[in-house]
């Protein structure tokens, strides 16, 4: 007996209490997710779960009629449900306060309730993949809801009631309330107004180009704080489509961090930075582009089939000449170039606080041939995540220090108001500060004079690089499928923001980054400058870059070279589609009003 009392006393006492008392759970409210200014992105509304204990009912018929009236149930079916031999029957989940009040006001015994929490998202389908959603049990399943679940989830409470052996409430018995502890609030780096701007750009991309998918990230390149993370397509977080699990998984994963793509020419930002930093090249070094390079016996084409001729390194960056970047990569050699790729963080995860991040895919260093290295130099034969590309390029323009992209600003206790700031690694050296200054100038010239002109906003300093990459399926080039992108940087002191916009498989001829993504990024910057009240400073360059609006001539029937020469003389950037020598069509169409920021696509058959 002594062994039972001493050795098992506490355990047996706990079991006895569970027999003497009934408990109704009180679910803890989940913490809120907020933007940087306190705007609520995810919140919890109180709902109620209603229970009946058949043994405690004084008049089952009357109780069934009341429940049926309040919830619109069938009275006979309700009576059958509450007449079963069970200690407790769940009558309703997620009931409104008015419905609960109607039941309590009746004074009928045997009806109990527990608080339930309904997770809701005030902005619906905004930030779908980044915010994520919760399961039926309230646990975070995707996005920030999952990543910071340990902070957002609170501690459940309970209502304990004294009962007899068959579960009836004891007259004069007591009840004990163990309050739930609310979860902590997660304050993010998101700016809802910037998020709206990014979401609007993706809606425009969807309407113009009918793409398979699109994404946009806005990040402070000096700190790694993410101000906006938008993806298309998305769905309303208040109505999660759970019927098709496979489809839901595809739509809910954050492609910005979990999917790799061949970056194409945006990768040239990194090649140029590494080549300059090592002293392999100088901005004044000259290169000759005949339209291709033969490496390891393989002909690798420049995007301009007829070649760029003799160009300086600076001009090669501005004109995005593949041959310049092949030579730069080969000049560095595999070991040196891969050391820089490691410094940029591309061969590992960035550490961004979103579930499902993957790392870039690169050929093993010991297996890299010269032909591979040449292709890597201009953004082929590699695959990176959008967030990885953004983080790597951020250090190129911020003075040469690494940053960790992140969404967490702080975790805040809703009771005391105390908070803990998020800590993310940064500050390791990638390139010299002097190299970063040179790169800022080179990339600004791309926007002023090169393929990024359609991202130019008069009165503001913007740098950037376009990207147009072919897609691969089953190891082969997928004909007619491209990824169009633009990676831009505001060089304005008040808004040190990078914007990466990617459009996956835009429909039709308009698949070049200069035509698809660059204009949208220009719109994003224009709206951000207006949002933050950044005033333009006009220097006189604007008139030369933009020029006066004019009607675009008809170039049909001209040779490609003749049309290109005339377009360049008009101050317009030119792209061509097809390998023909004669212009068969053009976009924009003849007669369209344009200015110096426009890019014209010549169709050659």
Query: End-to-end distance of the chain based on CA atoms, in angstroms?
Result: 97
CB atoms within 10 A of CB 239: 10
**Residue 193 annotated to the active site:** no
- Catalytic residue (choose from 252, 265, 402, 409): 265
CB-count burial class (<10 Å; 0-12, 13-18, 19+) for 190: buried
Crossing angle of the two packed helices 322-332 and 334-343, in degrees rounded to 10? 100
CA 87 vs CA 51, 141, 170, 559: distances in Å: 10, 32, 15, 87
- Cross-strand bridge partners of residue 90: 51
Specify the residue for token string 């803990």: 420
**Closest alpha carbon to 415 in 29, 24, 94, 68:** 29
Specify the residue for token string 């499928």: 481
Segment (H or E) for 216: strand 213-220
CA 517 vs CA 181, 222, 352, 500: distances in Å: 47, 23, 24, 9
Q: What is the DSSP string of 507-528?
A: SSS---HHHHHHHHHHHHHHHH
- In angstroms, the CA 222 to CA 424 distance is 13
446 phi and psi angles, rounded to 5 deg:
-60, -40
Crossing angle of the two packed helices 60-71 and 97-106, in degrees rounded to 10? 160
Say if CB 459 and CB 538 are below 8 A apart. yes
Specify the residue for token string 């043994």: 55
CB-count burial class (<10 Å; 0-12, 13-18, 19+) for 512: buried
- In angstroms, the CA 311 to CA 289 distance is 8
Say if CB 4 and CB 11 are below 8 A apart. no
Segment (H or E) for 323: helix 322-332
390 phi and psi angles, rounded to 5 deg:
-65, -45
The secondary structure of residue 559, as a DSSP letter, is: B
Crossing angle of the two packed helices 75-82 and 60-71, in degrees rounded to 10? 130
| Residues involved in catalysis | 265
């Amino acid at each position: 007996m002594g062994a039972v009392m001493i050795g098992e006393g506490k355990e047996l006492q706990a079991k006895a209490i569970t027999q003497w008392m009934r408990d109704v759970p009180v679910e803890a409210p989940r913490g809120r997710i907020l933007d940087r200014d306190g705007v609520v992105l995810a919140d919890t509304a109180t709902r109620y779960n209603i229970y009946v204990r058949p043994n405690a009912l004084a008049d089952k018929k009357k109780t069934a009629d009341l429940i049926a009236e309040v919830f619109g149930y069938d009275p006979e079916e309700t009576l059958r449900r509450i007449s079963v031999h069970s200690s407790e029957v769940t009558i309703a989940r997620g009931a409104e306060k008015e419905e609960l009040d109607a039941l309590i006001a009746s004074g009928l015994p045997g009806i109990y309730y527990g608080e339930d929490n309904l997770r809701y998202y005030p902005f619906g389908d905004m930030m779908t993949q980044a915010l994520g959603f919760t399961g039926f049990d309230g646990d975070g399943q995707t996005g920030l809801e999952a990543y910071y679940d340990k902070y957002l989830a609170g501690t459940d409470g309970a209502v304990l009631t004294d009962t007899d052996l068959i579960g009836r409430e004891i007259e004069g018995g007591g009840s004990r309330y163990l309050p739930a502890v609310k979860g902590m609030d997660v304050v993010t780096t998101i700016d809802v107004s910037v998020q709206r701007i990014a979401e609007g750009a993706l809606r425009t991309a969807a309407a113009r180009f009918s793409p398979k998918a699109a994404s946009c990230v806005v990040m402070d390149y000096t700190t790694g704080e993410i101000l906006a993370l938008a993806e298309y397509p998305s769905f309303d977080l208040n109505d999660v489509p759970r019927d098709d699990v496979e489809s839901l998984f595809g739509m809910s994963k954050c492609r910005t961090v979990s999917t790799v793509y061949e970056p194409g020419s945006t990768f040239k930002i990194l090649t140029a930075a590494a080549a300059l930093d090592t002293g392999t090249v100088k901005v004044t070094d000259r290169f000759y582009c005949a339209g291709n390079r033969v490496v390891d016996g393989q002909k690798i084409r420049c995007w301009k089939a007829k070649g760029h001729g003799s160009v300086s390194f600076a001009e090669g960056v501005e004109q995005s000449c593949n041959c310049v970047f092949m030579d730069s990569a080969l000049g560095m050699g595999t070991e040196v170039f891969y050391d820089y790729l490691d410094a940029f963080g591309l061969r590992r995860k960035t550490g961004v606080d979103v579930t499902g991040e993957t790392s870039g895919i690169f050929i093993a260093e010991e297996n890299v041939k010269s032909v591979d290295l040449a292709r890597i130099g201009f953004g082929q034969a590699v695959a990176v995540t959008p967030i990885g590309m953004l983080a790597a390029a951020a250090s190129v323009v911020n003075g040469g220090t690494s940053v960790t992209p992140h969404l967490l600003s702080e975790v805040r206790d809703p009771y005391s108001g105390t908070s803990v700031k998020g800590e993310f690694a940064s500050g390791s050296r990638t390139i010299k500060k002097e190299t970063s200054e040179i790169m800022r100038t080179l990339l600004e010239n791309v926007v002023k004079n090169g393929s990024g002109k359609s991202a130019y906003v008069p009165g503001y300093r913007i740098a950037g690089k376009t990207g147009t990459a072919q897609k691969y399926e089953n190891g082969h080039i997928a004909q007619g499928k491209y990824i169009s992108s633009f990676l831009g940087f505001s060089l304005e002191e008040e808004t040190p923001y990078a914007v990466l916009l990617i459009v996956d498989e835009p429909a039709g001829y308009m698949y070049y980054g200069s035509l698809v993504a660059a204009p949208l990024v220009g719109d994003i910057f224009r709206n951000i400058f207006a949002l933050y009240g950044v005033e333009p400073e006009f220097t006189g360059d604007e008139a030369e870059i933009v020029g006066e609006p004019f009607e675009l001539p008809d170039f049909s029937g001209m040779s490609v070279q003749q049309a290109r020469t005339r377009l360049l003389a008009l101050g317009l950037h030119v792209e061509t589609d097809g390998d023909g020598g004669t212009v068969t069509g053009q976009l924009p169409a003849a007669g369209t009003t344009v200015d110096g920021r426009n890019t014209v696509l010549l169709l050659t058959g």
